[in-house]
Structure 1
Amino acid sequence: MIQYFEDYARVVFRELGSKVKFWSTFNEPDIFCRMIAYLNESAPDTAYRNRYLCGHNILKAHARAYHIYDEEFRPHQQGKIGLVTNSGYFFPKLENDTESVEIYFAFQGRWFLDPIFSKSGDYPQVMKTRIAENSKVEGLTHSRLPEFSPEWINYIKGTADYLGINHYAPFMVEPANKTDSGRWYDDSGIIHSNNSEWKVTSIGFRIFPKAIGGLLRKLTEIYDKPPIYIMENGMSSQSGVMDGDRIEYLYSYMKEVLFAIRDGCDVRAYTVWSLLDNFEWFFGYSQRFGLISVDFDDPNRKRTLKLSSYWLKTVIEEGHLVPANETIINLLK
C-alpha cells in the first residue's frame, strides 16, 4: 500500500501541481483506521492490531509522498504539503488529574503527530509502553503497535509544512483500573465520557468552545509553535435555513481561536465544515453541517443559502466577528 500511494502521489503532483499549491496527504487517518479495524468484526486484539498497522503504514506513505514532493516537485511548484488529523480536547473528570488528560491526548491526538512534529520522532512513549504491556498479557511475543526502525523515524520526522487539525468534540477523561489479568482498558487505560452540562449537536457532539482554544495552545506548546491550519470545525444542526444555533456555535469557536492567536498560537486558517450539506459517514444525508442547504429529494439538488452563510459573509467583509443577534436583526429588516 505504501508503494501504491507513492505511485499515486507522484501522478497527482505531476498532473495537478501547477495549479494546486496546498496538499494534504491524508485526512483523519485516526478515524478511518479505527473504523477499518472495528467494522471488520475481528476479535478485539486483532482489531487493535489492524488499527495500529493501518496508522503505521499511513505514516510511512505520508512521508514517502512528502519527500517525493519536496525533492521532485517543490522546487518548481512551490507548494505546501502536510497531513490532517482529527483531535478532540480533554478535561479531567477528577480534580487535578492531569495525567489522564496527557495519556489520552497521547493516544488520540499525538498518535499521528509525534512521529512528524516532535523533536525525537516516533510514537509517544506511554502509547508504546501500555500497548506492549497489553500485548504481553494477551500472549503475544511482540507489541501490537509496530516499531519504526531508526531510519524510518528520521525519514518521517519533519515531513510537514503545516499541522492540519479537525476539531469537533471535547471529552471528560478518568483513569480505569487494570483488569485482574493486568490489562489496560482500551490500551490507554483511560475512560472518556461526555459532560451532561455541555450542549449537544444533532450528531451527538458536545459543544464547549474552550476546547478548541485549549487544543491550539497544547499543540503550540508541545510542537514549538507550528503553523496550524484548522481544516474542519462546525456543527450539525436540524434548524434548516434559519440556523441561528450554527451562527452562535461558529461565533463562540472562532472567538476562542482568536484568543489562542492572541496567546501566541500560529493559526494560519480556520475552515468551516461545511460549505454544503453532504454525505456524512454512517449518517448518510441525515446530518446537516452545511452553510448552504441542499434538498436531496430534489432531482436538481436545490441549494438555499442558510442564515449562517450570510453571517460568515458579513464577518469576512467587515473583518471582525459579528454577534449572531446583529446578523438576524439586519437580515430581517
Structure 2
Amino acid sequence: MKTALLMILLGLCLADDEISNKRFPDEFMFGVSTSAYQIEGAWNEDDKSESIWDHMVHTNPDFIADRTNGDVACDSYHKFDEDLAILKETGVNHYRFSLSWTRILPTGYPDNINVAAVKYYKNVINKLKENGIEPVVTIYHWDLPQNFQDLQGFVNDSISDWFAEYARVCFSMFGDDVKYWITINEPQQVCTGGYGYGYFPPTIKSEALLEYQCVHNLLKAHAKAWHIYDDEFRSKQNGKVAITLDTSAYLPASDSDEDKEAAERIQQFTIGIYANPIFNGDWPEVVKTRVAQRSIAEGRSQSRLIEFTQEEIDFIKGTHDFFGLNVYTGYLVESLGYDPPVSEPPSKWQDQAVNTYQPSTWETTSTQYTKVVPWSVRSLLNWIKNHYDSPKIMITENGYPSSGNDKDDRRIYYIKGYLSNIRDAMEQDGVDVFGYTVWSIMDNFEWASGYTQKFGLYEVDFNSENRTRRARGSASFYKKVIETRCLVDNCI
C-alpha cells in the first residue's frame, strides 16, 4: 500500500478508541503560549519604541488581512492579572511568553534599560512563580527594533552582537526566576518570511540569497546568547536555554526511494538548516551540496550558502539544552523526477526540488495551509530523535485556527489527536518529549491575518474596550487533561 493512501486512511479514521490511554508522566509540562506583540498592546507607552511590526501596521495597514494592528491587541500590558486568572483556571504547568526588545531597550542597545519594562516583566514572572506556573521566556519573537531594521536587520553581520547584548540584559534582569529560555522563536519565519518569500516584515524578497545570509547571522546570534548564559549565568541561575524551530512534518507520498529522499531533503531545508549546525555542527550535507552545485551552475564563484569557518562550527555546535519545536500540520512529499533548470534569481523551490501537497481528504481549518493531521507529528518527532541524538523536546507551540467560535469541537479533536500521537512517540518510540504548549491561551493578533484567525482556548472580545476573555470548551477540555494527565476516561 502506498504511504499516501495509508496516511489518508489514518487521517480519516482517528477516533476516540484510537486515542492513547497512557497517562502522561507526573513531571510532564502542560502549558500555553503567547508573544509580546500579539497580546500586550501599549505599543508606545512607558518609553517603548517602534518595532518592525509597529512600523509595518502603521505605514501599510493593507498588509494585514483586516487592516487591524497590535496597538491594543489583548491589552495584556494592563490586564495581566486577568491573564493570570485564566492561566490559573486552566491549571497550566507553564506559560510561554515573550519579552519585547523595544520595551526593555528603547534604543535597541543596552545603554538605556527601561525601568518600567523591567518592572512589568518582573511582575509577570513573579506572579507566575507565586502561583506555581513556570515561566518559559522567549527573548525574541519577531519584533525587531525598527532602528536595527533601518540598518538591514538580520542581514547585517552586527545583528549577532546586538541580539547577544539584549539577551545578556534579559538574563541579568530576569534570570534568577526563569528556568527555561527560548532565544529566538521560529527562525524560518524570520529568514524565509522576512528575507525569502517576503510575507513578513521586512518583506524583502530574496529567496536563497539574503534568506541564507539571514540564517547564517541568526544562528550566530543564537549561539552568542547561549554562550553568554553558559559562561556568565548558568552556574548561579541553573536554567536551560534553547532555540524554538518550526516545521511541518514532511512525509513521503509513496514508498519509492525517490519520494523518501525528497521528504528527507525538504525536512533538512526547513528545519535541518537550523538544527544541524546547533546539534551536529555545520549545515546539513544535502543542503550544503545542493546549494553549492546550483550556485556553480548559476555561474557564481562561491555557494549562495555562506560557508561556516571551523571556528564558527565549533562555536554554534552544542548550543542547546533542549529542542524547542513548533508544529501545526503535515505534508506529503514527492520527487520532481528532475532537477529544476538554472534561473536568475534563484529560488528556494529550485534548491529543494520537491513537490509538497495536502490531500483534499484531509480535514481543513480556517487557514489554507493548516490541515488536521495529528498522526504526522509522531513521524516528525522520530525524525528529530534519529537526527539529533535523542534530544529532550519541548513542543512550544501547537494549535488549531478557526474563524470564530463554531469550530471549538475540532480544536479539542486536534489537541487530543496531537497529544495522543506525542504520547505514542514517547511510549512506543522512546522519544523524549517533556512538555507540550498550546497556541494559544487566548485569541490574539495573528500577524498578517490580524484578528481573523482564532487560536485561543479563551475567546477575546476585541470589540469591547475591556477585551473580555471568555472560556471556550477547549479550555475545560485542556484543564481536565492537565488535572488527570489523561486523554481518555480509562487511562492506565
TM-score scaled by length of structure 2: 0.63
Alignment correspondent of 2:372: 207
Residue 319 of structure 1 deviates from its aligned partner by 2.1
Alignment correspondent of 1:193: 357
The yes-or-no answer on 1:14 pairing with 2:172 is yes
Alignment correspondent of 1:258: 423
1:179 to 317, 340, 363: 340
Distance, in Å, in 2 between the alignment partners of 1:208 and 1:3 is 40
- Given the superposition, is the C-alpha separation of residues 295 and 172 from structure 1 closer, same or farther in structure 2, using an over 3 Å criterion? same
Alignment correspondent of 2:441: 275
- The residue type equivalent to 1:35 in the other structure is G
Contact 1:311–1:322 (Cα < 8 Å) also in 2: no
Alignment correspondent of 1:150: 310
Residue 42 of structure 1 deviates from its aligned partner by 5.8
Distance, in Å, in 1 between the alignment partners of 2:407 and 2:289 is 50
Residue 198 of structure 1 deviates from its aligned partner by 0.9
Please give the residue correspondences for 1:101-120 in structure 2 after superposition, counting only pairs within 5 Å: 101-118=263-280
Distance, in Å, in 2 between the alignment partners of 1:203 and 1:174 is 23
- 3-state DSSP of counterpart to 1:187: helix
Contact 2:250–2:332 (Cα < 8 Å) also in 1: yes
Between 1 and 2, higher relative CO (CA 8 Å, sep ≥ 6) is seen in 2
Q: For structure 1, which segment, 304-313 or 93-102, has the greater mean C-alpha deviation from structure 2 after superposition?
A: 93-102
Q: For structure 1, which segment, 178-187 or 205-214, has the greater mean C-alpha deviation from structure 2 after superposition?
A: 178-187
After TM superposition, what 4+ stretches of structure 1 lie above 3 angstroms from structure 2?
40-43, 179-185
Distance, in Å, in 1 between the alignment partners of 2:204 and 2:223 is 29
What percent of counterpart residues are identical?
Answer: 40
Contact 1:242–1:306 (Cα < 8 Å) also in 2: no
Distance, in Å, in 1 between the alignment partners of 2:203 and 2:232 is 41
The yes-or-no answer on 1:100 pairing with 2:262 is yes
Deviations 1:40-82 (A, max 9, x none): 6767xx4321111111111101111111100100100110000
TM-score scaled by length of structure 1: 0.91
Residue 260 of structure 1 deviates from its aligned partner by 0.5
- Given the superposition, is the C-alpha separation of residues 83 and 41 from structure 1 closer, same or farther in structure 2, using an over 3 Å criterion? closer
- Given the superposition, is the C-alpha separation of residues 269 and 86 from structure 1 closer, same or farther in structure 2, using an over 3 Å criterion? same
- 3-state DSSP of counterpart to 2:177: coil
Distance, in Å, in 1 between the alignment partners of 2:249 and 2:376 is 5
Q: For structure 1, which segment, 87-96 or 244-253, has the greater mean C-alpha deviation from structure 2 after superposition?
A: 87-96
Deviations 1:5-33 (A, max 9, x none): 11111111111111112101000001121
Deviations 1:66-101 (A, max 9, x none): 111001001001100000000111122243221111
Deviations 1:177-219 (A, max 9, x none): 2234488843111121212121111112111111111111111
Alignment correspondent of 1:236: 401
Distance, in Å, in 1 between the alignment partners of 2:439 and 2:166 is 27
The yes-or-no answer on 1:27 pairing with 2:181 is no
The alignment's C-alpha RMSD in Å is 1.8
Distance, in Å, in 2 between the alignment partners of 1:64 and 1:6 is 6
- 3-state DSSP of counterpart to 1:48: coil
Distance, in Å, in 1 between the alignment partners of 2:253 and 2:278 is 30
Q: For structure 1, which segment, 3-12 or 33-42, has the greater mean C-alpha deviation from structure 2 after superposition?
A: 33-42
Q: For structure 1, which segment, 224-233 or 312-321, has the greater mean C-alpha deviation from structure 2 after superposition?
A: 312-321
Q: For structure 1, which segment, 296-305 or 238-247, has the greater mean C-alpha deviation from structure 2 after superposition?
A: 238-247
- Given the superposition, is the C-alpha separation of residues 106 and 77 from structure 1 closer, same or farther in structure 2, using an over 3 Å criterion? same
Deviations 1:137-196 (A, max 9, x none): 322211111111011101111100000000012111122222344888431111212121
Q: For structure 1, which segment, 186-195 or 33-42, has the greater mean C-alpha deviation from structure 2 after superposition?
A: 33-42
- Given the superposition, is the C-alpha separation of residues 42 and 186 from structure 1 closer, same or farther in structure 2, using an over 3 Å criterion? farther
Contact 2:194–2:204 (Cα < 8 Å) also in 1: no
Alignment correspondent of 1:219: 384
Alignment correspondent of 1:126: 286
- The residue type equivalent to 2:426 in the other structure is I
Q: For structure 1, which segment, 300-309 or 47-56, has the greater mean C-alpha deviation from structure 2 after superposition?
A: 47-56
- Given the superposition, is the C-alpha separation of residues 192 and 307 from structure 1 closer, same or farther in structure 2, using an over 3 Å criterion? same
Residue 223 of structure 1 deviates from its aligned partner by 1.3
Alignment correspondent of 1:288: 454
- Given the superposition, is the C-alpha separation of residues 142 and 164 from structure 1 closer, same or farther in structure 2, using an over 3 Å criterion? same
Contact 2:333–2:354 (Cα < 8 Å) also in 1: yes
- The residue type equivalent to 1:105 in the other structure is Q
Residue 127 of structure 1 deviates from its aligned partner by 0.4
Q: For structure 1, which segment, 290-299 or 236-245, has the greater mean C-alpha deviation from structure 2 after superposition?
A: 236-245
Contact 2:298–2:342 (Cα < 8 Å) also in 1: no
